[in-house]
Structure formats: structure tokens, C-alpha cells
């Protein structure tokens, strides 16, 4: 009896693990079948929805542009060179000022009193010099006394000149023609060196900066004139002269190109406005122009999908040049060809397509 029981136990030890393994295998197989039934099975024969464009000959010498920002030619924050209370501020934000115009008057009453004191000293010293000169000629006094009086007079005149300069600096004037773009203090406040009081901006002449890709940089030459417009006043055509072509690329691998632009007589173009520099393609005549987004393949071998008999066929092309987001094609496409411009997901050479 014990022998039979022992054999049964050993059999159970073998059968139970095998049963568990069988159940797990069946469960995994079932899960796999369920998962596969839910996964999308791509059918290569199924037509793919795409957007297309029928090619036409276009003027290749059409204008194109680069966007940029207008900046002031000169801008500065004005502060006092001396400490003092602000007695008067003669301008406000928006005021148009001329070079040399008085903007702020600081309190200089104490300096003027010091000036009166030194002027009295000078009068006395001048009288001493005149008197000692006469006495020295008559050998009535020693020459050293005359020398001391003369030195004292020179020192007093230097002090007077210093006070006059300090008094002059209590009148703060505009360093150049411009517009007050910020009023940073008020009458009664205390001015100190380095503390801004006003901001003046010169917009009679503007700087206009655009960022140009490396491949288009050759279209700009120093000291050449280009046509510009401001987005807010597109009807006004401005002229800008190239003053700087960047020697180092920025974070976007573009190079800054800067122009100097004369503002309108009524200063319509403001600092911070957006604008465009207008260029014309050097290539003349008509040609095939396609959107850059339609180009597939590589830079060395660009390709496009051409629609033929309901299928998308990869076609090698030759790009003459790129103009912003478009490309001029010199070989591989003809007028009337239909190319795919959107819907490239799952698209392959020879795929069946339907046009949206």
C-alpha cells in the first residue's frame, strides 16, 4: 500500500508541472492570436490618399524675400554725471529732441554759492598780485611774496573752472537727435552717476537685420542697395544699404545680414517692427517650380513622386536652385506632370494612390 501511494505521489509531481506548462503555452498562444487580430495589417495593394499638384511653367525671376526686424541706429540711456536733486524734467516719453537740447536740470544752487566764494577770492588775489608787483619793482618786498600771490591766483582760477564745469554738468542735454522712448525718473528724485533717467532712441536712420541660410548668402554684397518694406506699411518701399554680412553662423546655422535704412520723414517705421528685404532671382525666363516639401531622396539625388496611371512613381530630378521654400527644377519634370505634395506616410515607389 505504501509503495502504491509513493508511486502516485511521484506521478503527481510530474503531471502537475506539465499541466501548468501546457496551460501557460495555450494561454500565450491565445493572447498572441488576439493581439495579432488587433494589429493593423498594412495592405500594400490598398490605395493611399495623397495631395497632388499639376506643374505649370512659372516665372523664375519672381521676387522673393527674407524677413527681419528694424532696430534703432542709436539708442542710449541718459544718466547724470553728478549727484543732485532733479529740479526739472523738460521732456516726456514720446518727445522729439534735438542734439544739445536741455532735457533735465539738476539743483546747482550750492555749486553757484561756491562759485561766488571763489570769485571773491580771485578778486582779492588779483589785487594782491597787482600790489606786490609794484612793491617788488621798488624792492619794498621780497619776490617770493609776489610768487606766492601769483600761485594762489592760478589755483583759485582752476577751482573756478572746476566749479563752472560742474555747474555745466547739472544741465543734462541730448547727445543726438531722437525720440524719448522711456522716462525713468521724476522731478524731485535724486540723480546719481550711472542711474538711468531717460532713454533716447534715434530712428531717423534704422538698422534692419535678416538671417540668411548659407546657400543664399552669396546674393548679398557689402555696400549694395536693396529694396525693403515694413509689414505694417507694405505700400512704402524703402532702400537699405548692406553694412554687415555675418562671419559666424547663429544657432540656426544662418548668417546675419544687416542694412542701414533711412526712415520716412514722419518716422513711420518704429524700432521693433518686422519687415522684409526683397530680392529677385538671377535666373530669368520660365521654368518648373515645386514646393521643397515635395522633394524626397537625398541632397545628392533628389526625387519626387509623379502620378502615373494611379500609381506614385519615384522620379529623379535635378534642382537648379532653391528659393526659400521652393525649388527650381532643371531636369526630370515637365509641364503638365502631376506630383505628390502631401500624404507621404506609407508611400512607396509604385504604390496605388487616390487623390484627396
Residue 210 lies in a domain: yes
Q: What angle do CA 133, 134, 137 make, to 5 degrees?
A: 85
Q: Give the separation between CA 304 and CA 295, rounded to whole angstroms.
A: 5
- Say if residues 75 and 201 touch (Cβ distance below 8 Å): yes
Residue 161 lies in a domain: yes
Domain-terminating residue out of 251, 280, 309: 280
Model confidence at 8, pLDDT cuts 50, 70, 90, reads low
- Say if residues 206 and 261 touch (Cβ distance below 8 Å): yes
Q: What is the CATH number of the domain that holds 325?
A: 2.40.420.20
The pLDDT of residue 213 is: 85
What are the grid coordinates assigned to 267, written together? 518716422
Residue 313 lies in a domain: yes
* 307-356: pLDDT as tens digits: 999 999 999 999 887 776 788 888 899 999 999 999 898 889 999 999 87
DSSP-derived 3-state class of residue 36: helix
Q: What angle do CA 319, 321, 324 make, to 5 degrees?
A: 120
The residue segments making up the domain with residue 174 are 74-191
The pLDDT of residue 325 is: 78
Model confidence at 132, pLDDT cuts 50, 70, 90, reads confident
For strands 48-54 and 351-355, give the pairing.
parallel
What are the grid coordinates assigned to 277, written together? 528685404
Task: Flag whether pLDDT at 111 surpasses 90.
Answer: yes
Residues 172 and 115 reside in one and the same domain: yes
The pLDDT of residue 39 is: 57
Residues 255 and 298 reside in one and the same domain: no
Residue 332 sits at φ, ψ, to 5 deg, of 110, -20
Q: Give the separation between CA 96 and CA 118, rounded to whole angstroms.
A: 39
Task: Flag whether pLDDT at 117 surpasses 60.
Answer: yes
Residues 96 and 162 reside in one and the same domain: yes
Residues 154 and 91 reside in one and the same domain: yes
Residue 35 lies in a domain: no
DSSP for 194-259 reads: T-EEEEEEEEEEEEEEEEEEGGGGGG--TT-EEEEEETTEEEEEEEEEEEEE-SS--TTSEEEEEE
For strands 57-59 and 84-89, give the pairing.
unpaired
The pLDDT of residue 298 is: 87
Domain-terminating residue out of 159, 191, 223: 191
Residues 95 and 174 reside in one and the same domain: yes
* 50-75: pLDDT as tens digits: 999 999 888 776 567 889 999 998 99
Q: What is the CATH number of the domain that holds 256?
A: 2.40.30.170
The pLDDT of residue 176 is: 92
Residue 323 lies in a domain: yes
Residues 82 and 183 reside in one and the same domain: yes
13-17, 35-39, 42-46, 201-205, range with the lowest pLDDT: 35-39
Task: Flag whether pLDDT at 1 surpasses 60.
Answer: no
The pLDDT of residue 59 is: 72
Residues 301 and 276 reside in one and the same domain: no
Residues 184 and 117 reside in one and the same domain: yes
Residues 183 and 81 reside in one and the same domain: yes
Residue 351 sits at φ, ψ, to 5 deg, of -70, 145
Looking at residues 83-110, what average pLDDT do you find? 94
Q: What percentage of the chain reaches a pLDDT higher than 90? A: 54
Residue 111 lies in a domain: yes
Q: How many C-beta atoms lie closer than 10 Å to residue 212's C-beta?
A: 19
Model confidence at 134, pLDDT cuts 50, 70, 90, reads confident
The pLDDT of residue 26 is: 83
* 253-290: pLDDT as tens digits: 889 999 999 999 888 999 899 999 988 765 556 788 89
Residues 261 and 298 reside in one and the same domain: no
Looking at residues 204-210, what average pLDDT do you find? 94
Residues 206 and 69 reside in one and the same domain: yes
Domain-terminating residue out of 170, 191, 212: 191
Residue 221 lies in a domain: yes
Model confidence at 217, pLDDT cuts 50, 70, 90, reads confident
The β-bridge partners of 254 are 213
> Quick one: which of 284, 179, 283, 279 has its CA closest to 229?
279
Residue 125 lies in a domain: yes
The pLDDT of residue 42 is: 54
Model confidence at 12, pLDDT cuts 50, 70, 90, reads low
Residues 83 and 185 reside in one and the same domain: yes
Which has more pLDDT, 31 or 21? 21
The pLDDT of residue 299 is: 81
* 235-253: pLDDT as tens digits: 999 999 999 999 888 887 8
Which has more pLDDT, 313 or 143? 313
**Who's near 36: CB < 8 A, 6+ residues apart?**
none
The pLDDT of residue 9 is: 66
- Residue with cell string 500609381: 311
Rounded to the nearest integer, the mean pLDDT of the chain is 87
Which has more pLDDT, 141 or 283? 141
Q: What percentage of the chain reaches a pLDDT higher than 70? A: 90
pTM of the model: 0.56
Looking at residues 201-205, what average pLDDT do you find? 92
- Total structural domains within the chain: 3
Amino acid at each position: 500500500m505504501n509503495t502504491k501511494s509513493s508511486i502516485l505521489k511521484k506521478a503527481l509531481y510530474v503531471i502537475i508541472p506539465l499541466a501548468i506548462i501546457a496551460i501557460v503555452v495555450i494561454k500565450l498562444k491565445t493572447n498572441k492570436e488576439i493581439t495579432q487580430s488587433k494589429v493593423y495589417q498594412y495592405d500594400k495593394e490598398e490605395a493611399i490618399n495623397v495631395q497632388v499638384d499639376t506643374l505649370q511653367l512659372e516665372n523664375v525671376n519672381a521676387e522673393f524675400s527674407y524677413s527681419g526686424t528694424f532696430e534703432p541706429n542709436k539708442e542710449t540711456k541718459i544718466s547724470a554725471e553728478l549727484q543732485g536733486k532733479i529740479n526739472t524734467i523738460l521732456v516726456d516719453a514720446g518727445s522729439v529732441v534735438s542734439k544739445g537740447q536741455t532735457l533735465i536740470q539738476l539743483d546747482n544752487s550750492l555749486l553757484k554759492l561756491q562759485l561766488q566764494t571763489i570769485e571773491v577770492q580771485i578778486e582779492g588775489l588779483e589785487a594782491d598780485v597787482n600790489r606786490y608787483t609794484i612793491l617788488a619793482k621798488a624792492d619794498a618786498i621780497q619776490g617770493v611774496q609776489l610768487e606766492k600771490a601769483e600761485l594762489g591766483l592760478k589755483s583759485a582760477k582752476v577751482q573756478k573752472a572746476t566749479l563752472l564745469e560742474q555747474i555745466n554738468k547739472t544741465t543734462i542735454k541730448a547727445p543726438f537727435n531722437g525720440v524719448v522712448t522711456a522716462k525713468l525718473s521724476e522731478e524731485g528724485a535724486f540723480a546719481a552717476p550711472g542711474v538711468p533717467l531717460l532713454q533716447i532712441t534715434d530712428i531717423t536712420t534704422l538698422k534692419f537685420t535678416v538671417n540668411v541660410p548659407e546657400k543664399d548668402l552669396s546674393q548679398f554684397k557689402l555696400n549694395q542697395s536693396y529694396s525693403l518694406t515694413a509689414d505694417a506699411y507694405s505700400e512704402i518701399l524703402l532702400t537699405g544699404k548692406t553694412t554687415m554680412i555675418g562671419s559666424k553662423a547663429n544657432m540656426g546655422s544662418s548668417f546675419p545680414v544687416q542694412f542701414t535704412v533711412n526712415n520716412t520723414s514722419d518716422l513711420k517705421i518704429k524700432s521693433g517692427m518686422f519687415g522684409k528685404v526683397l530680392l529677385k532671382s538671377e535666373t530669368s525666363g520660365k521654368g518648373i517650380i515645386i514646393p521643397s516639401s515635395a522633394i524626397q531622396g537625398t541632397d545628392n539625388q533628389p526625387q519626387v513622386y509623379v502620378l502615373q496611371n494611379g500609381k506614385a512613381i519615384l522620379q529623379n530630378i535635378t534642382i537648379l536652385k532653391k528659393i526659400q521654400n521652393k525649388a527650381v527644377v532643371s531636369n526630370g519634370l515637365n509641364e503638365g506632370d502631376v506630383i505628390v505634395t502631401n500624404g507621404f506616410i506609407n508611400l512607396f515607389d509604385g504604390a496605388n494612390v487616390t487623390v484627396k
